[in-house]
Structures are given as C-alpha cells and as structure tokens.
Amino acid sequence: MRRTTTAAVALAVAGTGLVGTAGTAGAAPAATSCSARWGSGLKTVPDSTGKPLKNIRTGRNTCYDRMVFDVTGPAGRTGYHVSYVTKFRQDGSGTPIPVAGGAVLQVVVNAPSYDPATAKPVYPGRAGKPLPGVDVKGYRTFKDTKFGASYEGQTQVGVGVRARLPFRVLQSGDKLIVDVAHTW
C-alpha cells in the first residue's frame, strides 16, 4: 500500500508540474532548446591559409546571431583567434576603435582582406568603419560591427554584442562561422 501511495503522490506532483508549465509552453522550450554551453572564453586555432577573405555577412537564428567569414583557402583550414576584449584596438597602430554594445567580441581571422600576390583589396573594409554590406539593426545580440585592420596576413573585426554572452566558432568548407548566443 505504501508503494502505491508514494507512486500516486509522485504522479500528482509530476502532473502539477505539467499543469504549471502548460501556460508557458511557448517560452519554456525556447529557453531549454537555446541553452548554450559554449562558454565565453578565448577560442583559437593556429592554422593559416594565406588566402584572402572574400566577404563577411551575418544572419539571425532563433537562439543566436551568426557572422560568417568567407575565405578562399582550403576547407576547414582557416586559423582564428576570437575573444572578448575590454577595448577594441586596431592591429598595428593600437588606435582605439569605439564599438557599441555591452561587450566587444574581437575576431581575428588568419586571412588578409587583400590579395597577397598583388596587394589589391579583396574585401573593402576600412579601419574604424562598419563592415561593408553588414546591417545588424534588429538583431537580438549583435549591436555593432567595426573593421579593425588587415595586418600581417590577418583580418581583425570588432563585434559589439548586447552583453558578454557565450559563443562558438565553427568551420564549414571555406567558411569560418562565429555564433553568439542570445542568452546563457
């Protein structure tokens, strides 16, 4: 009898929990399915292509904002260094570049924005200016973007985000992908 009573109480408590969450069913799954366990610490890979950066673009997802770097090098072999910084400074000169947002994510991609053979620009970024063709208005996490520099075979970008949130770095073909979660 005691087991039956215990089982009945357990079912009643479980049922109460289900009823209690029924009104927020739309919100609860989103929070659970969007929990990012990526962390906010430095992510780095030393590989290098020496091939130029072709383009930078962004996109929105239910759980994160995404920045994609199109590189002309071998698939999955682009080096990078991605971390939060207290102040975004242009590589080479050290000149501070203001970036709007609650935190600044610095992305350094081991790919120049110019053709190493001709020194002609391939990606038209200008120091201290927003990324060409990138508009982050209406994004949940991204608030601003700034081109830092293309210096010694690397391209530097500052991404202003709402707060210091978890991020991940992926490679897919000739693309380097940085996702920043909307929440922890």
- What's the predicted TM-score (pTM) here? 0.81
Quick one: pLDDT at residue 18? 34
| 43-181 fold | Immunoglobulin-like (2.60.40)
pLDDT for residue 55: 97
Rg (CA), the chain: 22
Under DSSP, the state recorded for 42 is -
What are the beta bridge partners of residue 69?
Answer: 56, 176
Q: Where are the domains of the chain?
A: 2-33, 43-181
pLDDT attached to residue 72: 82
Kindly list the averaged pLDDT for each block of 10 residues, start to end, along the chain of length 184.
43 36 36 79 87 95 96 81 98 96 97 92 96 97 98 95 97 94 94
> Rounded to an integer, what distance in angstroms lies between the CA atom of residue 149 and that of residue 126?
7
- The angle formed by the CA atoms of residues 96, 165 and 177, to the nearest 5 degrees, is 80
Retrieve residue 42's tokens.
């430095």
